[in-house]
Amino acid sequence: MIEIENVSLSYRDVPILRGINLCLPKGGITALVGPNGAGKSSLLSLIARLQPLQTGRITIDGLPVDTAPSRQLAQRLAILRQDGAVASRLTVRELVNFGRFPHHQGRPGNDDLRLAEAALMQFELQALSDRFVDTLSGGQRQRAMVAMTFCQGTDYMLLDEPLNNLDMFHARQLMRSLRAIADERQRTAIIVLHDINQAAAHADRIVAMRDGGIIADGTPEAVLTEDNLEAIFGYRMQITQLAGKPLVLHHL
C-alpha cells in the first residue's frame, strides 16, 4: 500500500502540491488525470523519491520513501518518467535487462535473463531487441522503456504518460497488457493519463487533480460526471455509455 499523508510541494514559492492525502492499496490500476500543471508528475516523482519531500510523509508498504534504502525501494517500486530520453546507446535487450538491476546489481542470473526475455515478448519487442534505442522511433522507444519498467518486477509501477508517442494500436495494447498484469499478477499500476477514455475503459479507480489538489477520487463511473469533468478541465463535455463504460466526448 502506498500512503501519502499531507504532502505539499512548492518550487520558488509557487505551490505545486497542496496537502495531498491519498491511499493507494495494492492491486489494480489507478489513473491520475487532470489538466497540465495539476501536479500529477510531481506527485509521482515524490512517491518515487526522485525529488526530496518538503512536507508530509509517503510510505510504500510501510517503508518511508525519504529514509528507506534506495535499493530496497527499487525492488518494490518502478517509475517510468515522462521525459525518458535515453542518451546512451543500449540495445533494447540491454535496456530491458537493466530493469533487473535492483535485483542483481549488474550480475544477472538466469532468472533475470528469462524475465527480460518475457518482458520483450510481452511488449512485442523481439524484432527490435538488437537495435540501439537511439535508432528507434518515439513510440518504439516508449514501448522499450515501459518494458524496462515492467521488467523491474516491482509490486508498484508508476507510469507517467506511458501512452506518449504511441499509435492507437500500441496504446490499446499497452493498456491491455497493464490490465492483464494487474489482474493476473496482482501488480499495482498508477498511471498518469491524458486520454480520459483510456482511463474510463481500463482503470479501476480515477484520481483527478487540479491546481495541486485532489478534486475527485473514485471508480470511473463515480468520477466521470459532467459536473466533475467541468470542475477538472474547465469546460462541459457530454458523456455517454458504451459497452458498459463511460465514454467522454471531450473533443466535441
Partner 1 sequence: MTEKSPLEKQRTKLAACAALIVLVILSICIGAGEFSLAGFFHDPDARQLFAVSRLPRTIAAVLTGAALAIAGLIMQALVRNRFVEPSTAGTAQSAALGILIMTLVFPAAPLAVKTLAASVLALAGTSLFMMTVHRLPPAQPYLVPLFALVYGGVIGAVVTFIGWQTDLLQFVGIWTNGEFSGVVRGRYELLWGIAIMAAIAWWVADRLTVLFLGRDASVGLGLSYQRTLQLGLVIVSVISALTVVIVGIVPFVGLVVPNLVSRILGDNLRATIPWVGLSGATLVLGCDVLGRVLRYPYEIPVATVMGVVGAALFLRLMFIRTAHG
User: By CB under 8 A, what part of segment 142-181 binds partner 1?
Assistant: 152
Helix (H) or strand (E) holding 143: helix 138-151
Find cell 533475470 and name the residue: 112
Reduced to 3 states (helix: H, G, I; strand: E, B; else coil), residue 39 is coil
Q: How many CA atoms lie within 13 A of 167 on its CB side?
A: 3
To the nearest whole angstrom, how small is the minimum distance from the Cβ of residue 7 to partner 1?
Answer: 18
Site for partner 1 in 67-86 (CB under 8 A): 69-75, 78-79, 81, 84, 86
Which CB sits closer to partner 1, 94 or 211?
94
As measured in angstroms, the least distance from the Cβ of 22 to partner 1 is 20
Would you give the DSSP letter of residue 147? H
Q: Return the residue of 102, 153, 162, 246 that touches partner 1, per CB under 8 A.
A: 102
Distance separating alpha carbons of residues 86 and 36, to the nearest angstrom: 24
Q: What is the C-alpha separation between 38 and 109, in angstroms, rounded?
A: 42
Using the minimum distance from each CB to partner 1, give the nearer residue, 86 or 118.
Answer: 86
> Shortest Cβ distance from residue 134 to partner 1 (Å)?
9
Which of 78/175 has CB closer to partner 1? 78
**Distance in angstroms (rounded) separating the CA atoms of residues 152 and 77:** 8
Q: Which residue has the cell 537493466?
A: 98
Interaction mask 32-71, partner 1, x per CB under 8 A: -------------x--xxx------------------xxx
Q: Smallest distance, Å, CB 99 to partner 1?
A: 8
Largest CA distance in the chain: 54
Task: Give the whole-angstrom CA distance, residue 119 versus residue 133.
Answer: 16
The sign of the dihedral angle between the CA atoms of 64, 40, 194, 88 is negative
Which residues are CB-neighbours of 232 under 8 A, at least 6 positions away?
33, 34, 35, 208, 209, 210, 215, 216
* 88 scored as a contact of partner 1 (CB under 8 A): yes
By beta-carbon proximity to partner 1, the closer residue of 71 and 176 is: 71
Which window, 10-18, 111-119, 130-138, 205-213, contacts partner 1 (CB under 8 A)? 130-138
Binding site for partner 1 (CB under 8 A): 45, 48-50, 69-75, 78-79, 81, 84, 86-91, 94, 98-99, 101-102, 105-107, 131-132, 135, 152
